[in-house]
Structure 1
Amino acid sequence: MVLLAVSTLVLAACGAGDSDSDILSAGGWPGMHSDGHNSDTSTVTGSRDLSMAWSRPIGSPVATYATIAASGQLFVTTKSNGGCNLFSFQMDNGRKRFCAVLGPGAAASTPIVDGATNIYVGDDGGMNSFNEHGQLRWRTQLVGTPISAQFTGDGNVLSVSQLGEVDVFSRQTGDRIVPPFSLMPPPDYLADPNLPVAPDGQGLNECFAGTAGCPVANTPAIDPATGKFFITVWRTGAATASLVGLTYTRGDNPTITQNWSSDILPGGSASSPSLSHDGKTVYVTDNQGHLLAVDAASGKTKWSYDLGFTPLGSSSVSADGLIIPSGGKDAHLIALRDTGDKAEVAWERMDLVQLGVPAQAAGSTGYTVVRSGAGDNPDLAMLTFDTTSGATVDQDVLPDAKGFTVGTSIGPKGEVVTPTLIGELFVLK
């Protein structure tokens, strides 16, 4: 009877459930944009009285968000300088839990974390999984470098590399669930036998801006319930980048199929697509300053709104439909609502220069980084604002922070975490 009870517990612990709550770290920030929809939101009630808790230099530039497990354990990748480029820290005090050396491409991949605090992160030519102590669980080779991954509704890992290879891996073993699917036209080695094989790190330096040298620059958005997912692609020789809709069909014979491709992103996109709460609309920005709403079923553009600036990150989309685009050069803070055939401004803050990526929490509270002070090299500050009106609630200077921040994440106890592009991590509580 004892052996039977132990076996039952072990099997239950090893099983992968079918719902997000079984897969994701509820209460943390488990993916680059928080969840499968890339919503950049949290169900935690946001604090309106933040203050600096700690900061620490990472030692090299950071290009992506910090992710946070339900336990509060932090994970962040950096550009390799010959040493560690995957780091884990304790939320309470900033103490380093572990660091690991991956290929330099890891800087373009945000770790994602599951409910057991196993993480999944890409580097040059592979997808890797580590446990919470930094021990390698598995590594699977692929073509290119995976940009930040997602979890599928059946508990697997969906990965898209910057060279356009789409894979689905088992969380437990790293085995492929489906054959690799390519978003790019295959090279014609019969026509050109001497055609070189693309290096796994090719074009990664252009991914931050979403330009043509990086075919797939952003994180896919997925609806776990239906398996539909969406990604930006700039195909070889194309005049403009595309938004592509695909479906991962699970079951006994899982498949990946392309549903549509819309050539609607002139100049490319530095924005991962975001899904509306009902999964019917995809929001994405192009590099000419437009926010677009696209029908998820057909790929047809519903409307386009000229923001007046080019976001250097993704939009935060709340469950009640408030859309807050990311900051960028000369960007201000603005919130919009989708009325079906057009976007309407909910509120606008022309007095602020937004230099970060917004995140929305429960309790009508939002966070983003803004310019603080004047001059050629102003300080950065974490702005706490009311999402219903845009009004400032609180503002906290990030000591000695310069340039841009590359993401805003919300922890399980309402902590707010942001790394700067030059490589420093700030935590407010």
Structure 2
Amino acid sequence: MFAESDRPHSPKVFDPPAKTLWKPVGARAAGIHDHDVIPEPESFSAIHVDVANSDNVWVAAAPMFELDWVAEPSYFVGSGPTFDNEGNLYFSPFFYHGERVATVSLDAQTGERRWALPADSDRELSSPPFLLNDPDNPGQQIIYIASYTRAVALRPDGSVVWSTETGLSLPPLEPGKRPNTKVHSFNYHATTDSLVTVSEAGELFAFGRQTGELLAPIGQLPGAPAVSDTGRRIPGFVMDRVDTLMAEAFGKTEGGLSVFSYMLRFIFGGGGLVTNYFSVSPDSGRLYIAATAEDGEDGTEDGLSEMGAIYALDLVDDDGNGELDFRILHQATFQGGTGSAPALSADGRRVYVSDNIGNVIALDGELNEIWRVDVGQPLLASVSVAPENNELFAVTASDVFKLIDTGETGVIEWAGDLTGFDGYTNVDKQSNALTATVTANGVVIAIAGGKSFLGANLMLHVGMGLLDRETGKLRYFAEGREDSLAISVVTGDGSIYVAHSPLRRAVGKAMYPELTPEITGGIARYRPVRLDLLARDAICAAEARAANAITLDQGTHMAAISTDIRQTKVLLKQAGNAIAKAIGDGDLTVEDGAELGDLLERGSVHLTPASLPKAVPDLAAACSMLD
């Protein structure tokens, strides 16, 4: 069962990808909020890009890329990383040997450490960093993190803006048990200018953005602790092998649990109410939190819940005395739990959630179900929501699916081409490995390659790929170093970053120790290569967006047109930077670079609703130069 294959090793070769044929059609979904505080989605300022959990960025991903470096390999990192507008990277490690730290900052280009914020205690995890613009200092941003006992605001140099105690204390340590004191990353409630978050146990917090002042009494969601089903998923002999392997690499939890056992219990909800991030509509201010239902909703009064729920809340001043409170406005329950974060359409009119049975569920803002689609497999992560063409992307342990929200129902359009490890000697099964990230030129995904074992894929290899949004075909692929529980992070220069959290590959390593490298933690960067192709994809995406926007009625769709113009500007900035690097790398001549620059400059002058039609010819000419 664990023998090495005698097949020849002949990996599939990926040529430089041709242009994508995907284009936006019609008016995009668009909000009406400004970006004075909320960053434009050029990169990941939150763990799912933005406050709405869209997993959609405005930039193009590099059409060709390769693994560049792995930094801070001693850390098991389960979320992030996130980025500021100066090109700095931030993450909060989960488990590791040695000195305790709350948050680490790296240079995103080199992976060199910039600074680390010490942890308050050896027992406490910090939330993934969350970033907002600082409107009092235009062009600057502030980083926010939280733990069970403290919330902190930091500047990019690591200096503290404010630090506020929550008033809570860590419970007594119980050996062999997992405390529900993990606090999820912050989100932003624009109506009250506050930072909000929720703990794994369902406690709700609100802090003033500017001062860190606690603005509301700590709230509580009504769900009951979830029932974990991990025992039915992992055979005991596998658990024993992997627990040993993970303890050697990352140590154990403060309660003496293996990292592997701890994370499985967390992922599958054992004892917790909220296992993933939450979303906030920047226009309405509503919070959407996926959690467990109240005890008894599953038909049994036992103090536990076997059903999922989603809650819509707001932070309001009910009594008019200036004191805010969390108020539940609506709730909906469904069979099976969920590990997904609710994701919102860009206009906040749709809420998407996935359950662990196999359904993608669409709800309106008041949590009335509109439709559900069964993809035939349990869904493992949040739904990625594109603002264009009503496109959604959902992932399982096997596949990546594109769905279309027709308004009345959801339709599966394709399952992605996950063939990155074709030709590998010891790979007989390939599958999806991470939440999908939607970009202007494709869908960034992770592919696992390994051995089929008891119906699962024992991961031996992992890599990153770029799918075509129109067809689902694999445009490009590069092997990476390690497994992740986080997200496929894309930044403004087209780079891809992955937080290393080796659970699945730890199983592969335990079962096939000679066929896969040692497990590792840290952050990996995949650097763009062939920057001329990145410039091409960014320019062509900008042209397609502008050409579509001029067909829209300005009286009806001004929000969509204005947002298209903002994104076009972001794409042209990305293209300009890529052109300069492509010339330096020798992939673009100085003469062609100058001509492209002139065309983009002339087109940029007309990026207003009134003169947008005049921009399209220059952008089209630039796009055609890079055929």
TM-score normalised by length of structure 1: 0.83
1:357 aligned residue = 435
Structure 1 segment 238-249 matched on structure 2, within 5 A = 238-249=305-316
Which amino acid in the other structure matches residue 446 of structure 2? V
Counterparts of 1:332 and 1:185, CA distance in 2: 31
Q: Does 1:95 align with 2:112?
A: yes
CA displacement at 1:174 relative to structure 2: 1.1
Which amino acid in the other structure matches residue 363 of structure 2? V
Counterparts of 1:125 and 1:184, CA distance in 2: 22
Are the structure 2 counterparts of residues 407 and 46 from structure 1 closer, same or farther at C-alpha, using a change threshold of 3 Å?
Answer: same
1:293 aligned residue = 362
1:395 aligned residue = 477
2:83 aligned residue = 68
Are the structure 2 counterparts of residues 73 and 327 from structure 1 closer, same or farther at C-alpha, using a change threshold of 3 Å?
Answer: farther
Contact 2:51 2:281 in 1 (8 A): yes
CA displacement at 1:227 relative to structure 2: 0.7
CA displacement at 1:255 relative to structure 2: 4.1
Q: Does 1:274 align with 2:343?
A: yes
Contact 1:265 1:285 in 2 (8 A): no
Contact 1:125 1:145 in 2 (8 A): no
Contact 2:44 2:50 in 1 (8 A): yes
SS in 1 for 2:352: strand
Structure 1 segment 122-201 matched on structure 2, within 5 A = 122-136=146-160, 137-141=162-166, 143=168, 144-154=181-191, 155-184=193-222
Are the structure 2 counterparts of residues 120 and 100 from structure 1 closer, same or farther at C-alpha, using a change threshold of 3 Å?
Answer: same
Q: Does 1:409 align with 2:489?
A: yes
1:381 aligned residue = 463
SS in 2 for 1:382: strand
Counterparts of 1:48 and 1:371, CA distance in 2: 20
CA displacement at 1:46 relative to structure 2: 2.6
Note the residue ranges of structure 1 that are not aligned, 5 or more in a row.
1-17, 187-198
Contact 2:223 2:273 in 1 (8 A): no
Which amino acid in the other structure matches residue 216 of structure 1? V
SS in 1 for 2:64: coil
Q: Using the aligned pairs only, state the percent identity.
A: 20
Which amino acid in the other structure matches residue 45 of structure 2? P
Counterparts of 1:365 and 1:350, CA distance in 2: 13
Are the structure 2 counterparts of residues 419 and 391 from structure 1 closer, same or farther at C-alpha, using a change threshold of 3 Å?
Answer: same
2:379 aligned residue = 311
Counterparts of 1:177 and 1:60, CA distance in 2: 34
SS in 1 for 2:35: helix
- Which has more helix, going by share of residues? 2
Are the structure 2 counterparts of residues 71 and 385 from structure 1 closer, same or farther at C-alpha, using a change threshold of 3 Å?
Answer: same
Q: Does 1:86 align with 2:103?
A: yes
Are the structure 2 counterparts of residues 53 and 296 from structure 1 closer, same or farther at C-alpha, using a change threshold of 3 Å?
Answer: same
2:279 aligned residue = 221
Counterparts of 2:167 and 2:131, CA distance in 1: 20
Contact 2:284 2:348 in 1 (8 A): no
Counterparts of 2:80 and 2:396, CA distance in 1: 14
Note the residue ranges of structure 2 that are not aligned, 5 or more in a row.
1-31, 134-139, 169-180, 225-253, 255-260, 296-302, 420-430, 453-457, 503-520, 528-627
Counterparts of 1:42 and 1:105, CA distance in 2: 35
Moved more, 105-114 or 221-230: 105-114
CA displacement at 1:228 relative to structure 2: 0.9
- Which has more strand, going by share of residues? 1
CA displacement at 1:220 relative to structure 2: 1.4
Are the structure 2 counterparts of residues 310 and 286 from structure 1 closer, same or farther at C-alpha, using a change threshold of 3 Å?
Answer: same
Are the structure 2 counterparts of residues 324 and 259 from structure 1 closer, same or farther at C-alpha, using a change threshold of 3 Å?
Answer: same
Contact 2:400 2:436 in 1 (8 A): no
CA displacement at 1:382 relative to structure 2: 0.4
CA displacement at 1:405 relative to structure 2: 4.3
Moved more, 233-242 or 278-287: 233-242
CA displacement at 1:318 relative to structure 2: 0.5
- The counterpart of 1:110, out of the listed 125, 128, 138, is 128
Are the structure 2 counterparts of residues 283 and 208 from structure 1 closer, same or farther at C-alpha, using a change threshold of 3 Å?
Answer: farther
CA displacement at 1:100 relative to structure 2: 2.2
Counterparts of 2:476 and 2:208, CA distance in 1: 43
Which amino acid in the other structure matches residue 365 of structure 2? A
Contact 1:79 1:105 in 2 (8 A): no
Contact 1:337 1:346 in 2 (8 A): yes
1:232 aligned residue = 290
Contact 1:149 1:157 in 2 (8 A): yes
CA displacement at 1:210 relative to structure 2: 4.5
CA displacement at 1:104 relative to structure 2: 6.1
Are the structure 2 counterparts of residues 247 and 105 from structure 1 closer, same or farther at C-alpha, using a change threshold of 3 Å?
Answer: farther
- The counterpart of 2:49, out of the listed 16, 30, 34, is 34
Counterparts of 1:365 and 1:225, CA distance in 2: 27
Deviations 1:306-336 (A, max 9, x none): 22333332121100221111343xx212110
CA displacement at 1:106 relative to structure 2: 6.1
Contact 1:112 1:150 in 2 (8 A): yes
State which structure, 1 or 2, has the greater radius of gyration over its C-alpha atoms.
Answer: 2
Q: Does 1:424 align with 2:522?
A: yes
SS in 1 for 2:487: coil
Q: Does 1:259 align with 2:329?
A: yes
SS in 2 for 1:231: strand
CA displacement at 1:205 relative to structure 2: 4.7
Contact 1:153 1:227 in 2 (8 A): yes
Structure 1 segment 318-357 matched on structure 2, within 5 A = 318-320=386-388, 321-328=390-397, 331-349=398-416, 351=418, 353-357=431-435
- The counterpart of 2:60, out of the listed 45, 55, 61, is 45
Contact 2:102 2:126 in 1 (8 A): no
- CA-based RMSD: 2.8
Deviations 1:376-408 (A, max 9, x none): 44211100111121111110110x32x444211
Contact 2:393 2:402 in 1 (8 A): yes
Are the structure 2 counterparts of residues 106 and 270 from structure 1 closer, same or farther at C-alpha, using a change threshold of 3 Å?
Answer: farther
Are the structure 2 counterparts of residues 269 and 43 from structure 1 closer, same or farther at C-alpha, using a change threshold of 3 Å?
Answer: same
Are the structure 2 counterparts of residues 142 and 286 from structure 1 closer, same or farther at C-alpha, using a change threshold of 3 Å?
Answer: farther
SS in 2 for 1:148: coil
